[in-house]
Amino acid sequence: MTTTTAVRPTPPRPAPPGKRPTGSRARAWATRAPLLPALVFLIVVTQLPFVATLVISFFDWNSLKPDQRHFTGFANYGSVFTDPALRESVLTTVLLTATVVIVSVVLGLAFALLLDRTFFGRGFVRTLLITPFLIVPVSAALLWKHALYNPEYGLFNGVLTWFGNLFGIESIAQPEWTSEMPLMAVAAALVWQWTPFMMLILLAGLQSRPAEMMEAARLDGAGPWQMFRFLTLPHLRRYLELGVLLGSVYIVQNFDAVFTITAGGLGTANLPYTVYETFYRAHEYGLASAVGVVVVIGTVIIATFALRVVSSLFREEASRA
């Protein structure tokens, strides 16, 4: 009930339309009109709920004990940073995001370099490399959990047995992937899905290198490594930044892989999963909202950098056009 009332207060204003003395106001509104439905829709559906989350985060509110709901100030935020389980999920989120982003950027760069030349079947290889990104995330997570990681009949241990038989090793290791290295198991599945994303961005970066510059360097006798180190890498810098930042924004929010592969167990619960768990299972609405707000603050920090990179690329495009 309170949410509906909490939702009502005035929405945060969108970027106010500029007041330039351009003739009649009616004309200006006619120009703005096509923009309004989309703006209003987004504000109502994305900004208002967040305002409500902010309000709820200041309440001690468990939906199983609705009459004990009361205002607690910053107590929920205190719990977020003192509760060891919640603090661990902050750490898990950072670790998981960093691992996935770094590994997939490095792999993506290697793949992009391989694709940045003509060879027989290039289009087909590109399609092969994009495919993991086009598997529905839940399917991919289930595939890794059951068909690859399963200790008895998963592909990984199956291949190990195979090698064992090949080289006559009787008792080759058969690790329980998801319980012995849970976080790495989740990370590997995510790397598999996100490497194509990085590859596509970096490939676009490679292909936007000025051809004359590369040719001139080659004629001056620069070797492949020198060309990569002093021409390609500096040119790719902003594409790398973009990949890292957008990847971080998406992966910080990941829910599917954690939910499916380990169900948040064994220290793999990241913040989005913890929010889900806290409100959906533990019914701690106030606490869940506080965790949600912390996620938002974290994302905003990364996103500010992301926006800066996007805007510099954007301006470059705009000035070129």
Partner 1 sequence: MSASTAAPNRTRATSKAPAPTARARRRTTVLGLTAWAVGIVFCLPALWMVLTSFHSEADAATNPPSLAASLTLDGYRTFFGGGGGPTPWPPLVNSLTASLFSTLLVLLLALPAAYALSIRRVSKWTDVMFFFLSTKMLPVVAGLLPIYLFAKNTGLLDNIWLLVLLYTSMNLPIAVWMMQSFLADVPVSIIEAAQVDGAKLPTVLGRVVAPVAAPGIAATALICFIFSWNELLFARVLTGVVAGTAPVHLTTFVTSQGLFLAQLCAASVVVSLPVLIAGYAAQDKLVQGLSLGAVK
Positions 96 through 135 that interact with partner 1 (CB under 8 A): 110-111, 114-115, 117-122, 124-135
Half-sphere exposure of 60 (CA within 13 A, CB side): 11
Q: Please name which of 250, 238, 229 lies closest in space to residue 314, comparing C-alpha atoms.
A: 238
CB 272 to partner 1: min, Å:
5
* Residues 34-73 close enough to bind partner 1 by CB under 8 A: 34-35, 37-39, 41-42, 45-50, 52-53, 56
Out of 9, 22, 169, 210, point to the residue binding partner 1 (CB under 8 A): 22
Binding segment for partner 1 (CB under 8 A), chosen from 84-92, 98-106, 176-184, 285-293, is 285-293
291-310 residues in contact with partner 1 (CB under 8 A) are 291-293, 295-296, 299-300, 303, 306-307, 309-310
The answer to whether residues 61 and 285 touch, using CB atoms and an 8 Å cutoff, is yes
Concatenating the DSSP letter of every residue in 62-84 gives BTTSGGG-EE-TTHHHHHHHHSH
User: What minimum distance in Å lies between the beta carbon of 266 and partner 1?
Assistant: 19
Binding partner 1 (rule: CB under 8 A), the pick from 9, 169, 175, 311 is 311
**DSSP secondary structure letters along 139-199:** HHHHIIIIIIS-TTT-HHHHHHHHHHHHHT-TT-----HHHHSHHHHHHHHHHHHHHHHHH
- 248: which DSSP letter? H
For the bound state, the minimum distance from the C-beta of residue 73 to partner 1, rounded and expressed in Å, comes to 19
Contacts of partner 1 in 66-85 (CB under 8 A): none
Interface with partner 1 in residues 150-209 (CB under 8 A): 150, 152-155, 157-159, 161-162, 165, 192, 195, 197, 200-201, 203-205
Interacting residues of 279 by C-beta distance below 8 A, sequence separation 6+: 285, 288, 289
Residues 223-252 that bind partner 1 (CB under 8 A): 223-224, 239, 242, 246, 249, 252
**Angle formed at CA 259 by CA 254 and CA 262, multiple of 5 degrees:** 115
C-beta atoms surrounding 159 within 10 Å: 11
144 touches partner 1 by CB under 8 A: yes
